Structures are given as structure tokens and as C-alpha cells.
Structure 1
């Protein structure tokens, strides 16, 4: 089976399969994987796109595979003030790290060196496990 396009979460209805992928495997152009139900699928897109949890892979036969974001080892970064959190976001961006922005915290893939930097800058970095869905950036498209 071949997946030929991505549909955002609000543009599809019923999936026949699902696949659980981590962040790195959700930014692809071409990828061979096995669905959670055991079916082999080839993702074959014209260009790499950021696939988000809840999106669907459209198969050539018109059916869909729901994409689920896998739990990953993350750091949840907080700060005592909004200004301090913005400053930390700048430092993370300056290191070209993928960052997920939430209302009162930032999340990045777990990295003990960055956790030490965050603490030295007055923030907190707590280890956690959750799906990771960072900002795609101005130059990355969404399916």
C-alpha cells in the first residue's frame, strides 16, 4: 500500500489503520513503515512535510491511516515570569532546537546539556514523557 498525500486532522473522517510515529519519523518524504495493525505502507510524497498527530495519510485506494504522535522523552521548560520564558525560548532557538510552545511552558527533546543551560538561566527543566509536536518553522510546510 502506498500513502500519497497528507490530510490535516480536520479534513478526514474514518481511518482503516493507524500508525504511531515519533517526531523524527513524522517529518518525511519517503518512509516504509508498519501500521499498528501490522500492514506495511510506503509513504511516498513529492516533498518532505511535517506530519502532526491527528493527521491522516491518504492511501492510493482512497482510504486513510491515522497518524498518532508517539510518546518521547522530553524536557518541559518553565520560568518564573513570561519574560524569562521568552528569553529561554530565544536561547533554544539560537541553538536551532525544535521547540513545542505551550501556554505556560516550552517542550524540547530531552537533552541534559540544555537542561543545565536552562537552570543556569533561571528556568526549570523537568523530564517527562509525552507526544512531541514542535513548531514547523517559517520554511516548513504542513501536509
Structure 2
């Protein structure tokens, strides 16, 4: 199984695609399936988030492009910028992951949050869309891994600890 653990900025050749919804792009360890059907293991630093278009590689040198999968979302639009800012404030006050665009907000499907922003005067449409929420003020995202671009230490061998082990 191919392991992906290193983010790179550029590649002349992309060998495969890895399409994932947002909740899977923020997991640090997981198995996934490439567009070709090949299974891969992802080893990411805790807190790392894969974004649409990111390039990953591993020991074998093949390059995989991350693709944000369309998923159920709500598109929030408002009659004016002040009302949109109020909706963004109330979503943020509830620690809701929110994608911000020019004149709109996008959130995951949540009927309670939909009712809240509709109550504030917003217009909400359900849609299948790529979800790319804001990283957050404290997300950082730069300089927390070594200069080679490793996302996380690559395990040589994982030992399973059992109660009978001494």
C-alpha cells in the first residue's frame, strides 16, 4: 500500500487523484482510495488540513493531487453586507466551520443553523459543493513541519501492544 506523507508545491506529473470530503481532509491518519482504486495510507501532522489542489507524495515518488469532493452544504446569501456579517458573526459564535466567499457563506448541512440564519433574514439554498472552510485565526499552517515537507513522522513499523506483552 502506498503511503502519502509529504506535501510538495509543484510536480510535472500527477499520477493519481485523491477525492475526499472536508471531514476526511482534516483527519491525520487514515486509509483512503485513489481514483484509480488503489488503497493508500495518509500520515499527516495532527491539525493538518488537506486543501483542494494540494500535492502529496511518499517513498515511491508518485504524486497524488487532492480533490475536494462535493458534499451537502448550505449556501447563505443576504440582502446586504451588514446582514451577511451578522450571519457570519452568529455562525462563528457557535464555532461553525464556514467558507467565506464574495457575498456568500457556505456551511455544512445543519437544519438548526439554517433556521438560525433564516431567522436573521438570510436566504439559504441546499447544494452539493466543494467545502473549503476558513482555517481559523489560530490555525497557523506554516513552518510546523521540517524543511523536507514531511507532514508527519513515517512509521517504520507499528507495534501493537497487547496486555500479554511484557
TM-score relative to the length of structure 2:
0.79
The alignment's C-alpha RMSD in Å is: 1.5
Question: Relative to 1, partners in 2 of residues 1:40 and 1:17: Cα closer, same or farther, differing over 3 Å?
Answer: same
Whether 2:76 is the aligned partner of 1:77: answer: yes
CA contact (8 A) 1:98 1:135 kept: yes
Alignment gaps of 5+ in structure 2: 143-150, 152-166
Q: Once the 2 structures are TM-superposed, how far is the Cα of residue 108 of structure 1 from its aligned partner?
A: 0.2
Show the counterpart of 2:7: 6
Q: Once the 2 structures are TM-superposed, how far is the Cα of residue 50 of structure 1 from its aligned partner?
A: 1.0
Q: Once the 2 structures are TM-superposed, how far is the Cα of residue 66 of structure 1 from its aligned partner?
A: 0.8
Per-residue Cα deviation, 1:80-138 (whole angstroms, up to 9, x for no partner): 11011011000000111100000010000011111111111111111111110001112
Q: Distance in 2 between matches of 1:59 and 1:22?
A: 22
Q: Once the 2 structures are TM-superposed, how far is the Cα of residue 139 of structure 1 from its aligned partner?
A: 2.5
Question: Relative to 1, partners in 2 of residues 1:121 and 1:49: Cα closer, same or farther, differing over 3 Å?
Answer: same
Matches within 5 A, 1:101-140: 101-140=100-139
Show the counterpart of 1:26: 25
Q: Which runs of 4+ in 1 moved over 4 A?
A: none
Q: Distance in 1 between matches of 2:119 and 2:44?
A: 43
Q: Once the 2 structures are TM-superposed, how far is the Cα of residue 12 of structure 1 from its aligned partner?
A: 3.3
Show the counterpart of 2:93: 94
Q: Distance in 1 between matches of 2:47 and 2:39?
A: 20
CA contact (8 A) 1:6 1:51 kept: no
How many correspondences in the alignment?
141
Alignment gaps of 5+ in structure 1: none
Show the counterpart of 2:49: 50
Q: Once the 2 structures are TM-superposed, how far is the Cα of residue 61 of structure 1 from its aligned partner?
A: 1.8
Show the counterpart of 1:59: 58
Going by fraction, where is strand more abundant, 1 or 2?
Answer: 1
Show the counterpart of 2:35: 36
